[in-house]
Amino acid sequence: MTFSKLLITVIIIFLILLIYFTYSPRELVEILNDNLHQIRVFGESNFIMLNIFFFSIYLVVATFSLPFALILGLLSGMIFEPINAVLLVSFASTIGATFAFLLSRYLFADIVKKKYIKQYEKIDAGFKKYNNYYIFALRMCILFPFFLVNIILGLTSTRVLNFYLISQIGMLPATIIIVNIGNSFDDILSSKTGLNIEIIILLTLLGLFPLIAKLFFKRIIN
């Protein structure tokens, strides 16, 4: 673990502990509900602006692989209607991934190849053998972190349009699950009730998704 990653981890743990010892669970629920309510009220009269603002934030996070994508995905399900949230997250994450792909290809190719030479050799070999099927399998399967897939594929000969379209489709199932989990969390916060069967099923699907995706990956490349 690098010093920067260690520092970020320490800061996150500190903030979690600070929040835990400062607020009771009920106070945290009330704070979340109040802020979500204010965002929704703002969105009622500034719907387009709220969408643009959220999309822009997610785009930056996806482009530079900042560790907030999951949180934003869950928040989208709390703030927007499910279909609206899926569209925002799906397009922002895919366009951001494509920007990362382009940055790697045209600006940081030497740095990326030197730092992730083993991962590059493995992905490049798979792409040369299976072409676009391999990209789709990578998007469905979490064998490599998404940011690595973005930047390493930028070093291969795959076309930008192919990368974009395959990423758009391949990342969609996980996006739908995460948005719906966020929507279910919102219902729990609003009603202050426990977990319902819907969120249990969604959390189970999210947990099983890597396993299902790996089986799918093996099926494609065999």
What's the pLDDT tens digit per position in 48-75?
999 999 999 999 999 988 878 888 888 8
Whole-model pTM: value is 0.77
pLDDT tier, 217 (very low <50, low <70, confident <90, very high otherwise): low
**Cβ-based neighbour number of residue 62 at 10 Å:** 25
Q: Which domain holds residue 188?
A: 26-221
Is 67 part of a structural domain of the chain?
Answer: yes
Round to whole Å and give the CA distance between 139 and 165.
11
What's the pLDDT tens digit per position in 12-33?
555 555 555 565 555 545 555 6
Tokens representing residue 151 in the block? 């930047």
pLDDT for position 173:
87
Are residues 181 and 203 in contact, defined by beta-carbon separation less than 8 angstroms? yes
Q: Which of 61, 86, 95, 109 is nearest to 164 (CA)?
A: 95
How far from 204 is each of 93, 148, 176, 187, CA to CA, in Å? Answer: 23, 26, 14, 18
Q: Which of 219, 211, 210 is nearest to 145 (CA)?
A: 210
Round to whole Å and give the CA distance between 16 and 19.
5
Are residues 97 and 174 in contact, defined by beta-carbon separation less than 8 angstroms? no
Is 88 part of a structural domain of the chain?
Answer: yes
What's the pLDDT tens digit per position in 117-128?
988 998 899 898
Tell me the one-letter amino acid at 23: Y
Is 139 part of a structural domain of the chain?
Answer: yes
pLDDT tier, 81 (very low <50, low <70, confident <90, very high otherwise): very high
pLDDT for position 1:
46
pLDDT tier, 181 (very low <50, low <70, confident <90, very high otherwise): confident
Is 115 part of a structural domain of the chain?
Answer: yes
**DSSP-based three-state secondary structure for 80:** coil
What's the pLDDT tens digit per position in 120-160?
998 899 898 888 888 888 887 766 678 889 999 999 999 99
Is 60 part of a structural domain of the chain?
Answer: yes
Are residues 71 and 82 in contact, defined by beta-carbon separation less than 8 angstroms? no
Is 14 part of a structural domain of the chain?
Answer: no
pLDDT for position 101:
96
Residue 80 has pLDDT above 80, yes or no: yes
Round to whole Å and give the CA distance between 116 and 122.
10
Are residues 196 and 184 in contact, defined by beta-carbon separation less than 8 angstroms? yes
Q: Mean of the per-residue pLDDT values for the chain?
A: 78
Structural domain count of the chain: 1
Is 59 part of a structural domain of the chain?
Answer: yes
Round to whole Å and give the CA distance between 140 and 216.
8
How far from 201 is each of 60, 187, 195, CA to CA, in Å? Answer: 31, 15, 10
